[in-house]
Each structure stands twice: as C-alpha cells, then as structure tokens.
Chain A
Amino acid sequence: MTLAAEPARPLEEPQHHVHLRRGDVGRYVLLPGDPGRCALIASRFEDARLVAKNREYETWTGSLDGEPVSVTSTGIGCPSSAIAVEELARIGADTFIRVGTSGGMQPGMRSGELAIVSGAIRDEGTSSHYLPIEFPAVADLEVVLALREAARRTGALARVGISQSKDSFYAELEPDRQPIAPQLREQWDAYVAGGAICSEMEAAAIFVVASILRVRAGGLMICFGAPDLSEEQLEADAARFNLDPLLDTAVEALRVLIAGDRVAAAGEGRRPAGAAGAR
C-alpha cells in the first residue's frame, strides 16, 4: 500500500467512523472487539503507532517482516464490525483476521484452546442487510490455512470449526430469563449438534461483508469454558486465563500470509497460481 506510485491528489476525507485515510493502514488488519486490546496487539508489531481513535474504533499501524500491518477494534457486535470492515476495505485493507474471546461449545474443549473459525452461524441481524440468510458465512481458505499453520508454529492447542455469531451476550449467558428462552435453548442445542465450536459476536458479518467486497477474512478465537466443565474448573481457568497464545498465533498467521502473498506476487499476480477465481 505505497502512496508513491499514485498520482498526487488532495488528501481525501477520513472515513466517517474509523477516522482513517488511505495509507493509514496496511492491507493486513487484525480485528479485536475490545479497543483496550489494540495497544497490546500492536506491541507485537515493529514501529507501531496509534493512528486514530474514534468511538469504539482504535487503530494502530506498524510492520511485520517489512510489511505494513494494522489492528483496528470493531467494538462489540456485528453492526459496528460491518462498518469497520467496509471503511477499512475502502482505504486499501484486503485481509482481515478477527481476534477475540469466545465461549467453548463442544464437550471436551478446554479453556485456553484456540478456535480457527472456518464459517459462522448467522445468528445476528447485520449480515441479512447484505445477503439472504441461505448464503453461508465462510472464512477465506488461505486465511484459515495460515491460522492453522501459525498454531502449529506457536504450539497452541487449536481446532478448526464453526462459530455461533450472536447478537445478544446475555441471551446466551442467561437464556432462561429471556421471554424467548425455549427458542434460545433449542437453537443453541441445534448449533452444538451441528458441531459449532465457539460462541462469539462478530464473525458472521465480517465474513459476509468480506465476501461481497471480495476481500479475505478469517477468525481466531480463544475459548473460555465448555459445556462439561464444572464451576470450580471454570474459576480455576479464569484465574490463569492468558491471551498470549491467541495474540501470538494471530500475529504469526499474518507472517504466514505475508510470506505466502510475496511468493504468489513473485509468481503470477497477487493470487496463488491456479486460483483463477475472485477469492
């Protein structure tokens, strides 16, 4: 994303919500939900600097292996995440990795395990403003493979699978106090039976919006809890919960993607040989 090759032009207006202009971010952007985590993630970049801060959107840009990379918080939920992806793509970002926390959904999962999100349940309202509900929210294959390779390198325990992207945190945590409790419980049971591995609040909209914009997106979640863990176990897990495996693996995945994209660019264009399609 160098500006040097482009013709001189007046400085464009910053994007409405993220307050960023072209050149402020790299093509690779990590997307945590929490603005408070941006500095922590950016500390893993070289020469990281704060570029903008507005509402729940905080952005830092630095570099990895000589390539500009950024981190932008999305805030909680699909509505604010869709805005972040739209505005970041408009100023040149084309590869997104959601990085965050989630609840484990399958028995046998351990707190601290990483979930590499290959697809997302569209249990939210935002993505239906883009595509009919039958369209699957699917992660980009190259991003999924990069995350899997990164987990192998960092040695983090990880599994690939589907996340539930929900709109209500408390409906998932305390379904029984909601008027539609039976429906919430029934849906949850169906998602678990379908093999969903983690519950979070942003991936589905990020994947669907990325599909339309023809940019790449994936997700890496650290899981807390699982259906078969006891209260005592959960308390013990909470005491030693550590984000390092998540953040180290996400940053390593960017390195994998950067290296792969360089090889592809040296070959025949930006996409890997043979992959003639748009994605």
Chain B
Amino acid sequence: MPVTEPDGRLHHIAIRHGDVGRYVLLPGDPGRVEKIASRFDNARHVATNREYVTWTGELDGVAVSCTSTGIGCPSTAIAVEELVGAGADTLIRVGTSGAMQPDIRTGDVGVITGGIRDEGTSRHYLPIEFPAVADIDVTIALRDGARDAGIPFHLGVAQSKDSFYGQHEPDRMPVGPELRRRWDAWMAGGAICSEMEAATLFIVASTLRVRAGGVMLIFQNLDHARPTEEELAAADVERVIDVAIAGLRRLIAADRASGRRMEVAAQGVPG
C-alpha cells in the first residue's frame, strides 16, 4: 500500500481514498489539469502538492479525475501507485510528444500501444525484457475517440526517454553516438512518437493489474522542420484533450455495456 499520512492523505499526491474516480487522465503538466477538468461536469479542485494537481468531476454521470504526473517516469510511477491506492483503476496518459516517422505531422495524435523502456524507473518493477504494453480496451477506446473527434491518428509504440535534451541535442552529450544509434533503431522498429512517461505507466499498471493507455499530441515534426501555418494551427493541446475525452466516453459506455462496476471502488482495487 502507498504511504499515507496520519490524516489519510497519500504521501505525494495529497488526496484521500475516494477523492478520485476510477478513470483518471494523466497529463504531465500541472498547468493543464484545470484545462482538462473544464471538460468534466461539476469539476472541483481536490489537491495540489509538488507537481501533482488533482481535479475530480463527472463524465456521463461517472466520477472521473485528472492528475498531473510531472515530467518523467519517477514522478509518474508515484502518481500511479498512489492513485490506484485512492481507488483508480483506469489511467490514461494525455500529453505532447515529438514525431518519429516522416509521415507523422504536427497536429496528429498518437494512440500508444506500447512504450520503449528507454528509462530507469520501470526496471525497479520488472526485468527489462518484459514489454510495456497498453491495455487493449483503453487503446481501442482512444482509437475510436480519435475517429469521433475527426483527428488524424497513428497507432504504435512510443519511446519513453529519461532525458529531454539527450533526444533534442544528442550531439552535445558525451554518449551522443549511442543516443543517435538507438534513436535510429527505434525508428526502424516503427516507433511513432517520443515522450517521457508511458513505459513506466504501462509497467506499473501491469503489476497493479489496472488498465492504462495513452494518447499524445504530436508537437514536433521528425525533421525538426518549421511546422507549416496549418500544422501550427493544428498543434493545439485542445485537440488531444478532445480525443482523450471522446475516448473516455467510449470506455465508460463500453464498461457500462459489459456490466463492469461503475462506482468508485469502495475497498481498494478489483483484481
């Protein structure tokens, strides 16, 4: 069980059990939480502590939340552990990323099927050969959400890296040649986008037996070429929020149809 303070608040995210719905959207940036929560009904601020801001509201009559993870896998793993401790069982990363294929352009979205474990945190959970895989039902819901929102999407694997500047300016790193070699391998393997949290989200979710997925706005072209006016107009974070909300609605509807229990878990997490 996650570390809990005497007043019942979880150590880092500072919320109590039941403060969040079972569905939680996970942006990296605390500044985006309120923007996302504005799409919920009856949204209210629940807690702010360190990089973790949490809002809870409703979507189609079901409790849903949004919690920021901060940048990187270490803080994301903490958020996932504590949110599951608070009753969440479905976690969707919503963020921005860079394109890794020439046909993927700024303004498109990436629906993530798996994460390249190019980071240190997930190794504290499972051996490196274990795949970081998104939940199939969450992935389908996000894909269908992208179709509902009418936004071009790409399904595939994300690179989850620990160093933003190692990716953006590899040549000034002492390990530059290795960074370049690995980047080329990820591209050859078909990776669609580069971000910093998905692999750990998926691995921690696997060990906790909860569902996780991710949808990323493509914010930068592969060739670092200046985006066109059209692409700039499309590179609005509202687009990926549109997809995440549409996907969440799909998931809520599918869960209802399958008879899955819809209320917030009263006693820990099912399974």
A and B physically associate: yes
Known contacts being A194-B126, A195-B207, is A134 close to B136, with CB within 8 Å? Answer: no
Interface size on B, residues (CB 8 A): 44
| A277-B101 contact, Cβ under 8 Å, with A135-B186, A212-B188 | yes
Interface residues of B in 140-167 (CB under 8 A from A): 140, 143, 146-147, 152-157
Given contacts A131-B185, A195-B207, A211-B189, contact A278 B103 (CB under 8 A): yes
Report yes or no: B190 in contact with A118, Cβ–Cβ below 8 A: no
Q: Is B131 an interface residue (CB 8 A)?
A: yes
Q: Tell me whether B206 and A195 are in contact (CB under 8 A).
A: yes
Using Cβ atoms and an 8 Å threshold, which residues of chain B touch A135?
Answer: 116, 157, 185-186, 189, 191
Is A121 in contact with B131, judged by CB distance below 8 angstroms? yes
Q: Max chain B CB contacts within 10 Å: which of A135, A148, A276?
A: A135
Question: Using Cβ atoms and an 8 Å threshold, which residues of chain B touch A274?
Answer: 146-147, 152-153
How many interface residues does chain A have, given as a range? 35 or more
Contact between B155 and A279 (Cβ–Cβ < 8 Å)? yes
Closest to B108 in A: A276
Partner of A132, one of B108, B152, B155, B182: B182
- Residues of B within 8 Å of A264, CB to CB, are none
B131 touches A120 (CB 8 A): yes
Could you tell me the distance in whole angstroms from the C-beta of A253 to the nearest C-beta in chain B? Answer: 15
Please determine whether B132 and A136 come into contact, CB atoms closer than 8 angstroms: yes
Contacts of B186 in A (CB 8 A): 131, 135
Partner of B127, one of A130, A144, A187, A279: A187
Contact present for B209 and A195 (CB under 8 Å): yes
**Contact flags (1/0) for B110-126 with A, using CB distance below 8 Å?**
00011111100000011
Q: Does B201 contact A (CB under 8 A)?
A: no
Across the interface, do B133 and A119 meet the contact criterion of CB distance under 8 Å? yes
Cα distance, A277 to B108, chains bound together (Å): 10
A273 to B203, CA, bound (A): 30
- Among B114, B125, B146, max chain A CB count under 10 A is at B114
Q: Is the Cβ of B156 less than 8 Å from the Cβ of A277? A: yes
Contact A118 B133 (CB under 8 A): yes
Contacts of A141 in B (CB 8 A): 113, 136, 139-140, 143, 155
Question: Is B129 interfacial (CB 8 A cutoff)?
Answer: yes
The one of A118, A145, A194 in contact with B130, judged by C-beta atoms closer than 8 angstroms, is: A194
B128 surroundings in chain A (CB, below 8 A): 133-134
With most chain B CB atoms within 10 A of its CB, the pick from A122, A195, A212 is A195
B185 and A132 form a contact (CB under 8 A): yes
Contacts of A136 in B (CB 8 A): 114-117, 131-133, 157, 199
**B189 and A212 within 8 A (CB):** yes
Q: Is B248 on the interface with A (CB-CB < 8 A)?
A: no
Contacts of B116 in A (CB 8 A): 134-136
Is B104 in the interface zone, CB < 8 Å from A? yes
Asked if B153 and A119 sit within 8 Å, CB to CB, the answer is: no
CB of A138 within 8 A of CB of B157, answer yes
User: Is A138 in contact with B113, judged by CB distance below 8 angstroms?
Assistant: yes
Q: Chain B residues with Cβ under 8 A from A25's Cβ?
A: none
Q: Which residue of A lies closest to B190 (CB)?
A: A211
Instruction: Give A19 to B157 CA distance when docked, in angstroms.
Output: 33
Judge whether A191 is part of the interface by a CB distance below 8 angstroms. Answer: yes
The answer for the CA separation of A274 and B190 in the assembled complex, in Å, is: 18
A193 touches B207 (CB 8 A): yes
Q: How far is the CA of A190 from the CA of B116 in the complex (A)?
A: 19
Q: Is B20 an interface residue (CB 8 A)?
A: no
B192 on the A face (CB < 8 A): yes
Q: With A212-B190, A274-B153, A277-B155 as given contacts, are A138 and B133 in contact (CB-CB < 8 Å)?
A: yes
Whether A137 sits at the interface, judged by CB under 8 Å, is yes
Contact partners of A214 in chain B: CB under 8 A: 190
On whether the beta carbons of A276 and B131 are closer than 8 Å, the reply is no
Chain A minimum-CB-distance residue to B118: A134
Chain A residues in the interface with B (C-beta under 8 A): 118-123, 130-138, 141, 144-145, 148, 160, 162, 187, 190-191, 193-196, 204, 208, 211-212, 214, 273-279
Known A194-B126, A195-B209, A276-B103; further 5 A-B contacts with Cβ < 8 A: A134-B199, A194-B125, A195-B206, A212-B188, A274-B146
Residues on B close to A: CB < 8 A? Answer: 101, 103-104, 108, 113-118, 125-133, 136, 139-140, 143, 146-147, 152-157, 182, 185-186, 188-192, 199, 203, 206-207, 209
Nearest 4 A/B pairs, CB to CB = A277-B154, A136-B131, A119-B133, A136-B114
